[in-house]
Amino acid sequence: MTETDELVEVLEEAQRLGFLGRRPVPDVIEHASGFLAPCADRGQFLDLGSGGGVPGLVVAQARPDARVVLLDRSGRRTDWLVRVVHRLGWHDRVTVLSARAEDVAREPAWRETQAAVLARGFGAPPVTAECAAALVAVGGVVVVSEPPDEPREPRWPPSMVDYLGLARRAWRDPAFAVLDKIAPCPDVVPRRSVLRSGGST
C-alpha cells in the first residue's frame, strides 16, 4: 500500500467517525493541497482546528521535510490524530496538540512562532484571523480556505487585517485567502470579546 492509499484510508476513517465532511476524499485531498502553494518555501506549518486532519495530514504527506502541528480542542479528535500519526510513521515530525487555539496563542512558547498557519473551517474570519495572527511569526503567512459562494460582505476588511499586523496578498485561487504577517499583533490578541461573539463585533 502506498502512502497516498494510507492517507485515503485515514481520511475515510475520519469521515466514518464524523471528524470530516462527506465530500469525496480525493476532492478533499485536492482542495487541501491548495494550501501548499502560498507557503511553498516554509518548513513549518500549524493546522488551526485540525479536526479530521485536513489540511495538516495532506501537507505532512506532501512535505516530508517539514514539521507540522495539528491543533484541535477536542480530546476525542486529537486522541485519534495521535494514533493516526503513529500509524503513518510521522510522529518524529508531526505534533498533535490538544488545546484551545486562543490559549495556545497566549503561551510564550507558541506565540508568534509559526512559519505558516493554515485554517479550513476554523471559524468566522475575525476569530480565525485573531488566533492565526497570534500564532504566526512576523514574516510568516496565514492561509485560510474560503467558502465556495461569493460572500455579500468583505470577509477580510483592511481595518481588521491591518490591526493584526497582517496584509492580504493577491492570490490567483479564490478558494484561499492569503495573509502575510508584516508586523507583531497587539498583545491583547486574540481578544476574548471577539472569540465570545464569534467575530461579530
C-alpha–C-alpha distance, residues 97 and 61, integer Å: 18
Grid coordinates standing for 51?
479536526
User: Is pLDDT above 90 for 3?
Assistant: no
C-alpha–C-alpha distance, residues 25 and 7, integer Å: 9
Cβ-based neighbour number of residue 188 at 10 Å: 11
Give the pLDDT confidence of 13-42 residue by residue, as tens digits.
Answer: 999 999 999 999 999 999 999 999 999 999
Nearest to 130 by CA among 196, 80, 60: 196
- Banded pLDDT at 1 (limits 50, 70, 90): confident
Domains and CATH numbers, the chain: 3-197 (3.40.50.150)
- Banded pLDDT at 192 (limits 50, 70, 90): confident
> What integer pLDDT is reported at residue 81 of this predicted model?
98
Asked whether the beta carbons of 70 and 101 are under 8 A apart, the reply is no
> What integer pLDDT is reported at residue 2 of this predicted model?
85
Give percent of the chain above pLDDT 90: 88
Give the pLDDT confidence of 71-120 residue by residue, as tens digits.
Answer: 999 999 999 999 999 999 999 999 999 999 999 999 999 999 999 999 99
- Banded pLDDT at 197 (limits 50, 70, 90): confident
> What integer pLDDT is reported at residue 176 of this predicted model?
96
Mean pLDDT score of the chain, rounded to an integer? Answer: 94
pTM of the predicted model as reported, rounded to 2 decimal places: 0.94
DSSP 13-26: HHHHTTSS-SS-HH
- Banded pLDDT at 161 (limits 50, 70, 90): very high
DSSP 29-92: HHHHHTTTGGGTT-SEEEEET-TTTTTHHHHHHH-TTSEEEEEES-HHHHHHHHHHHHHHT-TT
User: Is pLDDT above 80 for 200?
Assistant: no
> What integer pLDDT is reported at residue 56 of this predicted model?
98
